[in-house]
């Protein structure tokens, strides 16, 4: 009898041109600062220089770029690849390419040229915009990617062959551009998973998901971004849209700082201080470098003035509690844990403390070391191996499932369907993580399911052990992997990189160090010291390689009580 009543609200789509329009009107004076390479020093190392522009100019150039790409034949739905560092030009691509209805495809610059070629071919990119620093890859890519029609180089270059120069190209066009009618579910951007298992898979972000992600990232319990902020995303712009920060900052009018290739501790600290950065974001490796530089500068009596810095967002992999404490207690700086994946755009959770918990208390540090709670519109669920819902009690581990308007429902070309499941008639994404959820919604990643150690039918979290080991004064890095065990199926092995000049602690010492915090049967049966733990293109430990390296390993006299 009754039927749904539809509202009388305007049908205004959530599209990226809306962001571009705000930059042209409200925020045209706000600054965009980039560290660019101005030359090389006597050792061949790049020398940084500061480039300053405004959102008004970035918006104008983004529209010139849209006109230029149209003239090259780029049409709605076409993929345009970028192979570039964080800079104002990359921001122009972020805004201009989706605003013409094309798809911004950001490619990881750290991949081998063969992998880049594979991805360009899989995505069927018609145009590649490449930073001059990576122009050396061009001949190989051109040979391997026959569908690539145009290659545009950002920054000074030799100009060989039919390479187009980015600045020259867009300089030939006006910024008078009429946005096409874009359906908010159209693809705006594309990113490939890091592919630590199997081939990389493409995730297509929509205009809708990008706008919703930006809105949900801005409030104080997420990344807390506004016009008075200065945002420096150190996380690369090829890495899940730099966690969406270039869009969030632009939507809210925050000043942006781009670090280019200069992500070492000294340049990071210098830029944080010089540009009065309030919010920065990166993986734990970056913060390790920054912490060392801050300690050095403090000891040398020349500390950086970072009083404007409100949060260092950390993601990609978990920050050890020791690192969180070190920043807070030695430098008064707050690491803010965020969790997400390529498939979640990425923001899923942020570790903001509840009202009654103090930041510097033990409870506060323990909560900060967790991945946090969902931002609005994201839901998490825990499933058993059999697909049953598990309790949110803070200790039951389960397969972590995610759902939300900016979570993928499939990969490009329908690949990897096993990662998406139906639960009570709804699609959920299987993150591949093993996690706990507590009653208030705090999520804690225990492991990647493929890195999991299953000992005597019970799960052991390698991540927890690694974080604890990294708090040991002699340990610089720690990875805990499974080794085969005839009795328990698998047992943990600790693989350690020592701090410079430190002596290797013995098994008994490390066992005693860990014992207060873990069940006895969790403790590694043995430790091996290595020079380096292999790290993948997105900065994560390549445990697959470690497992191969130690595949024949047998622990000396392992027992389990």
Considering only residues 296-315, where is the footprint of its own copies by CB under 8 A? none
Contact between 400 and its own copies per CB under 8 A: no
Q: Is residue 113 within a helix (H) or strand (E), and if so which, with residue range?
A: helix 113-123
Sole window of 46-54, 217-225, 288-296, 529-537 interacting with its own copies (rule: CB under 8 A):
217-225
CA-CA distance, 346 to 189, in Å (whole number)? Answer: 13
Contact between 95 and its own copies per CB under 8 A: no
Does residue 396 have an active-site annotation? no
Measured from the Cβ of residue 326, the count of other Cβ atoms closer than 10 Å reads 19
Does residue 413 have an active-site annotation? no
Contact between 253 and its own copies per CB under 8 A: yes
Torsion sign over Cα 52, 53, 58, 59: positive
Question: Which pair of tokens denotes residue 541?
Answer: 């430990």
Residue 27 vs 258, nearer CB to its own copies: 27
Sole window of 47-55, 74-82, 299-307, 362-370 interacting with its own copies (rule: CB under 8 A):
74-82
Q: Which residues, numbered 163-182, are part of the site for its own copies (CB under 8 A)? A: 182
Whole-angstrom CA distances from 253 to 62, 65, 91, 104, 209 are 16, 21, 14, 22, 19
Residue 187 vs 434, nearer CB to its own copies: 187
Sole window of 155-163, 263-271, 313-321, 376-384 interacting with its own copies (rule: CB under 8 A):
376-384
Contact between 80 and its own copies per CB under 8 A: no
Contact between 440 and its own copies per CB under 8 A: yes
Q: Which residues, numbered 111-170, are part of the site for its own copies (CB under 8 A)? A: none
Measured from the Cβ of residue 237, the count of other Cβ atoms closer than 10 Å reads 24
429: which strand partners?
402, 420
Residue 187 vs 469, nearer CB to its own copies: 187
Exactly one of 340, 346, 404, 492 binds its own copies (CB under 8 A); that residue is: 404
Q: How far is the CB of 374 from its own copies (least distance, A)?
A: 7
Contact between 392 and its own copies per CB under 8 A: yes
Residue 37 vs 191, nearer CB to its own copies: 191
Q: Which residues, numbered 12-71, are part of the site for its own copies (CB under 8 A)? A: 12-14, 18, 21-22, 25-26, 28-30
CA-CA distance, 555 to 102, in Å (whole number)? Answer: 55
Sole window of 260-268, 397-405, 512-520, 525-533 interacting with its own copies (rule: CB under 8 A):
397-405
Q: Which residues, numbered 499-558, are part of the site for its own copies (CB under 8 A)? A: none
CA-CA distance, 89 to 370, in Å (whole number)? Answer: 35
Q: How far is the CB of 72 from its own copies (least distance, A)?
A: 13
Sole window of 131-139, 374-382, 459-467, 504-512 interacting with its own copies (rule: CB under 8 A):
374-382
How many chain residues are in contact with its own copies, going by CB under 8 A?
A: 84
Contact between 225 and its own copies per CB under 8 A: yes
Exactly one of 211, 232, 237, 465 binds its own copies (CB under 8 A); that residue is: 211
Cβ neighbours of residue 313 closer than 8 Å, sequence gap 6 or more = 223, 243, 279, 280, 281, 282, 335, 336, 338
CA-CA distance, 350 to 133, in Å (whole number)? Answer: 34
Q: How far is the CB of 402 from its own copies (least distance, A)?
A: 9
Q: Which residues, numbered 329-368, are part of the site for its own copies (CB under 8 A)? A: 345, 352, 354-355
Contact between 183 and its own copies per CB under 8 A: yes
Residue 12 vs 500, nearer CB to its own copies: 12
Does residue 255 have an active-site annotation? no
CA-CA distance, 238 to 110, in Å (whole number)? Answer: 10
Burial of residue 263 (CB within 10 Å: 0-12, 13-18, 19+) is buried
Residue 134 vs 442, nearer CB to its own copies: 442
- Over its C-alpha atoms, the chain yields an Rg (Å, rounded) of 24
Crossing angle, helix 284-299 and helix 265-274, to 10 degrees? Answer: 80
Does residue 343 have an active-site annotation? yes
State residue 322 phi and psi, 5-degree precision.
Answer: -60, -40
Check 459, 490, 521, 528 and give the catalytic one.
Answer: 459
Residue with tokens 């993580």: 433
Q: How far is the CB of 409 from its own copies (least distance, A)?
A: 4
Residue 118 vs 411, nearer CB to its own copies: 411
Contact between 216 and its own copies per CB under 8 A: yes
CA-CA distance, 34 to 260, in Å (whole number)? Answer: 7
Strands (E), 197-351: 202-206, 230-233, 255-258, 279-282, 311-314, 335-340, 347-350
CA-CA distance, 19 to 8, in Å (whole number)? Answer: 25
Contact between 103 and its own copies per CB under 8 A: yes
Burial of residue 109 (CB within 10 Å: 0-12, 13-18, 19+) is buried
Check 454, 487, 499, 520 and give the catalytic one.
Answer: 454
State residue 186 phi and psi, 5-degree precision.
Answer: -65, 155
Active site residues: 193, 343, 454, 459
């Amino acid at each position: 009898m009754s039927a749904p009543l539809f509202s009388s609200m305007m049908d205004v789509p959530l599209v990226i041109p809306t962001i571009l329009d705000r930059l042209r009107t409200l925020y045209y004076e706000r600054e965009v600062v980039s560290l660019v390479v101005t030359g090389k020093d006597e050792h061949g190392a790049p020398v940084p220089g500061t480039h300053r522009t405004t959102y008004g100019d970035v918006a104008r150039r983004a529209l010139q770029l849209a006109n230029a790409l149209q003239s090259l034949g780029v049409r709605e739905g076409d993929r345009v690849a970028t192979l570039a560092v964080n800079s104002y030009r990359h921001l122009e691509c972020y805004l201009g390419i989706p605003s013409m209805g094309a798809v911004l495809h950001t490619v990881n610059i750290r991949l081998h040229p063969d992998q880049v070629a594979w991805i360009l071919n899989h995505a069927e990119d018609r145009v590649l915009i490449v930073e001059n620093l990576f122009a050396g890859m061009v001949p190989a890519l051109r040979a391997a990617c026959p569908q690539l029609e145009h290659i545009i180089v950002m920054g000074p270059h030799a100009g060989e062959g039919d390479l187009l120069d980015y600045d020259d190209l867009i300089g030939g066009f006006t910024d008078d551009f009429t946005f096409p009618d874009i359906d908010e579910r159209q693809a705006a951007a594309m990113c490939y998973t890091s592919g630590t298992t199997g081939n990389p898979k493409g995730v297509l972000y929509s205009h809708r998901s990008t706008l919703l992600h930006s809105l949900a990232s801005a409030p104080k319990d997420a990344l807390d971004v506004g016009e008075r902020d200065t945002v420096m995303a150190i996380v690369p712009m090829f890495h899940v849209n730099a966690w969406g920060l270039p869009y969030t900052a632009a939507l809210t009018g925050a000043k942006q700082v781009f670090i280019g290739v200069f992500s070492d501790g000294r340049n990071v600290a210098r830029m944080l201080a010089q540009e009065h950065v309030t919010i920065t974001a990166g993986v734990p490796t970056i913060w390790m470098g920054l912490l060392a530089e801050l300690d050095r500068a403090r000891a040398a009596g020349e500390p950086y003035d970072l009083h404007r810095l409100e949060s260092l967002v950390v993601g990609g992999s978990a920050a050890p509690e020791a690192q969180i404490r070190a920043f807070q207690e030695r430098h008064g700086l707050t690491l803010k844990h965020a969790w997400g994946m390529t498939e979640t755009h990425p923001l899923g959770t942020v570790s903001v403390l509840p009202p009654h918990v103090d930041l510097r208390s033990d409870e506060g540090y323990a909560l900060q070391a967790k991945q946090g709670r969902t931002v609005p519109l994201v839901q998490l669920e825990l499933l058993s191996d059999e697909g049953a819902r598990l309790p949110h009690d803070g200790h039951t581990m389960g397969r972590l499932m995610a759902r939300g308007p900016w979570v993928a429902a499939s990969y490009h070309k329908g690949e990897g369907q096993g990662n998406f499941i139906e639960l009570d008639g709804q699609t959920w994404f299987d993150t591949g993580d093993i996690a706990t959820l507590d009653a208030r919604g705090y999520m804690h990643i225990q492991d990647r399911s493929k890195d999991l150690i299953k000992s005597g039918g019970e799960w052991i979290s390698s991540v927890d052990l690694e974080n604890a080991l990294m708090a040991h004064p002699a340990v610089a890095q720690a990875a805990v992997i499974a080794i085969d065990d005839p009795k328990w199926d698998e047992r943990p092995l600790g693989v350690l990189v020592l701090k410079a000049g430190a002596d290797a602690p013995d098994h008994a010492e490390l066992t005693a160090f860990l014992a207060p915090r873990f069940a006895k049967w969790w403790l590694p049966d043995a430790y091996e010291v290595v020079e380096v733990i292999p790290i993948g293109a997105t900065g994560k430990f390549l445990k697959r390689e470690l497992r191969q390296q130690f595949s024949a390993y047998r622990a000396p006299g392992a027992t389990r009580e």
